[in-house]
Amino acid sequence: MSDPTSGSGIPYRFDPTTTAAAVEAEYGGLTDGEETGVVVTVAGRLMLRRDQGKLAFGDLQDATGRVQLFALQRSTADFEGFTGLHLGDWIGVTGEVIKTRRGELSIRVDSWVRLAEARRGFPDKWHGMTDVDTRFRQRYVDLWVTEESRAAFVARSQIMSATRRWLEDRAFIEVETPVFHPIPGGALARPFTTHHNALDLDLYLRIAPELYLKRLTVGGFERVFEIARVFRNEGLSTRHNPEFTMLELYQAYADYTDIMELVEQLVAHLATEVCGTTKLTYDGRELDLSVPWRRATLLELLAEHGGLIVDLDTSRDELVRLCEEHDIPVKDHYGPGKLILELYEKTTEPELWGPVFVTDYPKEVSPLSRDHRDQPGWVERFEGIVAGRELCNAFTELVDVDEQRARFEAQEAEKVAGDVEAMAVDEDYLRALEYGLPPTGGLGIGMDRLVMILTGTKTIRDVILFPTLRPEQ
RNA sequence: GGGUCGCUAGCUCAACUGGUAGAGCAUCGGACUCUUAAUCCGCAGGUUCGGGGUUCAAGUCCCCGGCGACCCA
């Protein structure tokens, strides 16, 4: 044990006494040339080095920021070794906090140790890493050299943490439900399939945790939430990754108007926590998340933006004609509700910036929502549109078991007719409903999109550490 | 799925109408006692994404394939 580094020169542990940010916070006010007599130890990655003969300067970056290192041949141990370090090497440094004559807060290096060697050259120290594909494939490099990238993931962590606290403060409990589902359900999407060998059972990766969370409400958990990774077998785009994160929550005794208030308050709270304000700019446009958000029915917005005055009693011929006018492919089994939704998605949704709650959807396209209390053929459901993106989907939950069975069977018929996104009948879920689901409001929020909005990033890959990519070879 | 653009040294990028593939940074060697993307001198670094074709000659033109970006459906 005479050599504590055991030959490699790399120690097994290291004890920094402070961080770059803490040094700056405590000693940033020193006058030029001032010395503190305070010796600190920091650790991080060497990002820049400026050799100056018998002097050398370096920039050390740790998780909190950067601080300059100041080494002298006269007083720094193994000065030649220090000037031989590679950019990107991890080092630990001990020395006195000073401000140089030229006014740069620095640590004057007494001793140092290499904590890791960067065998591969770091990206251009000025331009960094610009190829987005390489940034995603080599996130371990991107995080060091791209400040905005690091900041987005720190913000993501804060958003997740603040969301949990906010919900727990309101008596919600966090649960974990299965990722493997024998019957995919809770959303209209294609699932991934897998197989359990011991049970010789085909299973599906969940497309939503909804039906399990409502089983828990039946079980007496009156307020539950899950931050769930979900999986949808769809294409990739700036807004879609095959695996993404949904916050789902269920609140007994609430309806969709209660959920609207919950969403706008939660999002405004998160904006304040992370951005310090509810008045943001996204993609060059103003976005005011201040409470309350506008509420408008899907039909009202369809009239306002699409100029289409229609309803469920509009003749099918007329709805089909309007769809054809807007280049929307129509299938024979589409009813008026589906046709109206298609018209809305084509003519109106792209025009919405928000925040706005689009309320009241056709029953035909909402198999898990409760019938509207006043409007036959419609359900109590809303989507929140924020920064032109569909941020959330929520409804007054369907609690009537007979009605739920009928909706499932209608979905099953569509699946048989070839709709790969349609739902199947889930008998166990129906059995749960037979034990009684109280009036309940439910919500799903796309957390990746929320993080995008609050960090000002433009693609979902900027907020997912390791997005799904084609293999390199 | 369709269209457009891109892929050149470890990184960031050049190379006019086809004519010996270059620079900056990083790396390596050297100089330099207050730098801030330090500066200066020097060495080295390439299957130009892959395959085929046209041509005396292809990074460049044509075809097929791979990967990506943007736009559209």
pLDDT of residue A161: 98
CA A59 – C1' B36 distance (Å)? 9
Distance between CA atoms of residues A259 and A370, nearest Å = 14
pLDDT band of A1, cuts 50, 70, 90 = very low
CA A123 – C1' B8 distance (Å)? 17
Torsion angle, alpha carbons of A330, A334, A338, A342, to 10: 0
Average pLDDT score over residue span A47-52:
94
CA A63 – C1' B24 distance (Å)? 29
The nucleotide whose C1' lies nearest the CA of A129 is: B11
What percent of chain A stands above pLDDT 70?
A: 98
Distance between CA atoms of residues A45 and A92, nearest Å = 9
Identify the residue whose Cα has the smallest distance to the C1' of B28: A84
Produce one character per residue of A340-360: b if its CB has 16 or more CB atoms within 10 Å, e if not: bbbbbeebbbeebebbbbbbb
Q: Yes or no: say if A76 and A112 are a contact pair by the CB < 8 Å rule.
A: yes
Residue with tokens 């609207």: A260
CA A42 – C1' B31 distance (Å)? 31
The nucleotide whose C1' lies nearest the CA of A104 is: B36
Digit-coded pLDDT (tens) for A84-99 = 999 999 999 999 999 9
CA A470 – C1' B53 distance (Å)? 30
Residues 6+ apart with CB under 8 A from A205: A179, A180, A181, A191, A192, A193, A194, A230, A231
CA A190 – C1' B64 distance (Å)? 33
The separation between the first and the last C-alpha atoms of chain A, rounded to the nearest angstrom, is 45
Strand B bases with any atom < 7 A from protein Cβ? 10-13, 24-29, 31-39, 66-71, 73
pLDDT of residue A468: 87
Six token digits for residue A281: 């700019």
The nucleotide whose C1' lies nearest the CA of A235 is: B1
The nucleotide whose C1' lies nearest the CA of A48 is: B37
Q: Which residue has the higher pLDDT, A468 or A70?
A: A70
Q: Yes or no: say if A57 and A49 are a contact pair by the CB < 8 Å rule.
A: yes
CA A66 – C1' B24 distance (Å)? 25
The nucleotide whose C1' lies nearest the CA of A33 is: B34
Six token digits for residue A372: 């509207």
Average pLDDT score over residue span A314-333:
87
pLDDT at A472 over 80: no
pLDDT band of A423, cuts 50, 70, 90 = confident
Distance between CA atoms of residues A111 and A106, nearest Å = 14
Confirm whether the ipTM is greater than 0.85. Answer: yes
CA A108 – C1' B23 distance (Å)? 36
The nucleotide whose C1' lies nearest the CA of A99 is: B34
Distance between CA atoms of residues A34 and A24, nearest Å = 14
Mean pLDDT of chain A: 92
Digit-coded pLDDT (tens) for A164-221 = 999 999 999 999 999 999 988 888 888 899 999 999 999 999 999 999 999 999 999 9
pLDDT band of A2, cuts 50, 70, 90 = very low
For residue A336, cis peptide bond before it (omega within 30 degrees of 0): no
The nucleotide whose C1' lies nearest the CA of A145 is: B11
Neighbours of A274 (CB within 10 A): 19
pLDDT band of A325, cuts 50, 70, 90 = confident
Average pLDDT score over residue span A244-249:
96
CA A237 – C1' B7 distance (Å)? 21
**Between β-strands A65-72 and A55-62, what pairing exists: parallel, antiparallel or unpaired?**
antiparallel
Q: Yes or no: say if A392 and A446 are a contact pair by the CB < 8 Å rule.
A: yes
Residue type, A170: R
Identify the residue whose Cα has the smallest distance to the C1' of B70: A238
For residue A438, cis peptide bond before it (omega within 30 degrees of 0): no
